[in-house]
Structure 1
Amino acid sequence: MSNILRVGIIGAGGIARNVHLPNYSKHNDKVKVVAIADVVRGNAEVLAIEFGIDHVFSDYKEMLETVELDAVSICTPNKFHAAATIAALEAGCHVICEKPPAMTVEEAELMAHTAQKMGKILTYGFNFRHTEEVSALKKYIQADELGEIYAARVHAIRRRGIPGWGVFTNKELQGGGPLIDIGVHMLDTALYLMDYPEPDTVFGVAYQKLGNKKGVGLFGEWDWEKFSVEDMVRGMITFTNGSSIIIETAFAANIQQHEEMSVVLMGDKGGADVFPLKIYQEKHDTLVDVTPTYLPKNRDHPLQMERFIQSCIAGEPPISTPKQGVILQKIINGLYESADKGEAIKLNNPAED
């Protein structure tokens, strides 16, 4: 690898324009984005002009074959995450792939296997891990301030927040709705703070009650007649260490708040709300609430991209690992399977270990 990290972008949508490209640009002493590919070549050409990218392609495989790259950002719809990631890894590139890891557990496992085989970094765009609240709370947890975290509650709910852009309501391209799009963020945050325990059993229910009807859209108008994903998932996950998570996620629900993104942790020495951060403990025969008056200012997406760059240059392990991606994918797909079958799904099968 040269002194400058040579980066390619696969997918020229909003996440590439608003997150990956501007944050690579902040580190132009270390990084140069040299190529971009999108099936709609015109979209790639627009970003190439805006960000000074030399090479434009409509086929990412051609990009990987013809341009020397050190790292690649995968910014495609979910359906194409696995194929693009595997191709980039096999071309000898480090990869940051947007969430979720993939559409299926098998895809996530193959992505992890390929990264290991090629000796390359594979990490995922779970930007909430990089917030100041999560960074601070992780230190408290590592200092045993919460003790054994045995229960968590995860909310990622919007009152009327169905995306009116992109392919977020297309099940074929996305694999699902709020669970795989916004719920995955809060679920990953809880799992990260709980040190990613091994899942045992999941039970989920899914609803499509509002998205398939014409209504008010706080995130723009959506095509309700082609709405093919769920608009709500509720579920419970248990883990082999005895801990559990309750999750509730929705694009649209009749609730008071316009949006709630929250994680609540409960341990035997303390508990915490993560967004905003508050810690609850019992000390000296009193119940105390600890509220930070100052937190170091982390900006989640910029720090996420900075850490990826540093991992590529210095060979440091990424904060989000392929193994964690597989665990998360098992839970997501397990919840969908449970909702489809109307029964709990066992994920930890000793016969398969």
Structure 2
Amino acid sequence: MSKTLRVGIIGAGGIAKGAHIPNYLKCKDKVEIVAVSDVVKEKAEELAKEYSIPHVFTSYEEMLESVQIDAISVCTPNKFHHPATMAALKAGCHVLCEKPPAMTPQEAEEMADTAKKAGKILTYGFHYRHAPEVEALKRFVDGGELGNIYAARVTAMRRRGIPGWGVFTNKELQGGGPLIDIGVHMLDTALYLMGYPEPDTVFGVTYQKLGNRKGVGLMGSWDYENFSIEDMARGMITFKNGASILLETAFAANVEKHDEMNVTLIGEQGGADVFPLKIYQEKHETLIDITPSHLPKKGYHELEVERFVDACLEERTPSSTGLQGVYLQRIINGLYESAEKGEAIKITETVKA
């Protein structure tokens, strides 16, 4: 591969315009954005004009056939992550796919298998991994400061934060609501810090209490008459190594804070909250709290894109892998299945990816 990564964009929506493209451009001489594709031609043309992207397509298949591309950003609604990623991998491209990996575990497994067979990078847009708090805590975890982490709590709660744009409230296109959209970020963060243990059993419940009626919208007005997702989900996940996670996530709930995203870890030698970062230990017969006096400041998305580019050019493994995507997708879909059936779900598949 040349020293310049030729990048194509699939999906010309907000995440492409607000996160991917601006941060590819920050990579300066390392990246050239050569094409954008969207089923809505006007959106693709507008984006191409704004960022001087030379080629515009309404079909990503045509784009992959017509233009020499090294790497693809998949910025579509969740339903199209799998087909777009598969097409890009089969065309010989590395892929940065927005979260969640897919709509089903089977799709995530096929994506991971295809990337492995093609010898291409497949990574996902879990940008919270690149937060300075997460990176600092990971160093403490890897250094044994928390010991064996046997429990965690995941929180992704909004008081009235139902997105009033896009297709976030459309279950057919998204696969679900806050669990698969914001809960997945904090869940991935917890799993990353815990070493991505293999899931064993999940139990979940979902609620639709506020989203299907008119109300105050702190993130714009939403179409409450066609609200087909959960507005809140709760769950418990156990892992084959004996660890467990409690999860709570909502777009709308009657809670105090307008927006809370956090992970709490509990280990044998210490515990921690991630946002803001605080570590809890017992040393020299004293209970102590540790807080950093300084953390570097750089955008999460900027680091995500920069590290994807470097991984492609240097042919090294990215922080988020296809196998981790499979584990995560099994948990998400297991929680939805558990909520639907009203019983715990055993996750028994063996991962080969």
Please classify the TM superposition score into its range, dividing by the shorter chain length.
Answer: over 0.9
Contact map agreement 1:154 1:247 (CA 8 A) in 2 = yes
**What amino acid maps onto 2:84 in structure 1?**
A
Aligned to 1:326: 326
Aligned to 1:347: 347
Aligned to 1:157: 157
Are residues 351 and 124 of structure 1, via their aligned partners in 2, closer, same or farther at CA, if it must alter by over 3 Å? closer
Q: Deviations 1:230-288 (Å, cap 9, x if unpaired)?
A: 00000000000000000000000000110110100000000000000000000000000
Whole-angstrom CA distance in 2 between matches of 1:350 and 1:307: 30
**What amino acid maps onto 1:149 in structure 2?**
I
Secondary structure of the corresponding residue to residue 29 of structure 1: helix
**What amino acid maps onto 1:30 in structure 2?**
K
Q: Deviations 1:90-131 (Å, cap 9, x if unpaired)?
A: 000000000000000000000001101110000000000000
Are residues 120 and 152 of structure 1, via their aligned partners in 2, closer, same or farther at CA, if it must alter by over 3 Å? same
* Matched ranges for 1:77-92 at <5 A: 77-92=77-92
Aligned to 2:285: 285
Aligned to 1:239: 239
Are residues 217 and 141 of structure 1, via their aligned partners in 2, closer, same or farther at CA, if it must alter by over 3 Å? same
Structure 2 unpaired stretches of 5+:
none
Whole-angstrom CA distance in 2 between matches of 1:145 and 1:296: 21
* Matched ranges for 1:28-177 at <5 A: 28-177=28-177
Secondary structure of the corresponding residue to residue 153 of structure 1: strand
Do structure 1's residue 24 and structure 2's residue 36 form an aligned pair?
no
Root-mean-square deviation over aligned CA pairs? 1.3
Are residues 350 and 220 of structure 1, via their aligned partners in 2, closer, same or farther at CA, if it must alter by over 3 Å? closer
**What amino acid maps onto 1:49 in structure 2?**
K
Moved runs in structure 1, 4+ residues, more than 6 A? Answer: 350-353
**What amino acid maps onto 1:317 in structure 2?**
T
Whole-angstrom CA distance in 2 between matches of 1:243 and 1:54: 50
Q: Deviations 1:274-316 (Å, cap 9, x if unpaired)?
A: 0000000000000000011111223211000000000010011
Whole-angstrom CA distance in 1 between matches of 2:291 and 2:351: 46
Secondary structure of the corresponding residue to residue 29 of structure 2: coil
Secondary structure of the corresponding residue to residue 318 of structure 2: coil
Across the two proteins, how many residue pairs are aligned to each other?
A: 353
Are residues 351 and 28 of structure 1, via their aligned partners in 2, closer, same or farther at CA, if it must alter by over 3 Å? closer
Whole-angstrom CA distance in 2 between matches of 1:210 and 1:229: 11
**What amino acid maps onto 2:211 in structure 1?**
G
Do structure 1's residue 253 and structure 2's residue 250 form an aligned pair?
no
* Matched ranges for 1:225-236 at <5 A: 225-236=225-236
Aligned to 1:311: 311
Secondary structure of the corresponding residue to residue 145 of structure 2: coil
Whole-angstrom CA distance in 2 between matches of 1:149 and 1:172: 36
Q: CA deviation at 1:165?
A: 0.2
Q: CA deviation at 1:351?
A: 12
Structure 2 length as normaliser, TM-score?
A: 0.99
Q: Name the % identity.
A: 69
Whole-angstrom CA distance in 2 between matches of 1:205 and 1:68: 46
Whole-angstrom CA distance in 2 between matches of 1:238 and 1:201: 5
Q: CA deviation at 1:349?
A: 5.3
Q: CA deviation at 1:352?
A: 11
Secondary structure of the corresponding residue to residue 336 of structure 1: helix
Do structure 1's residue 274 and structure 2's residue 274 form an aligned pair?
yes
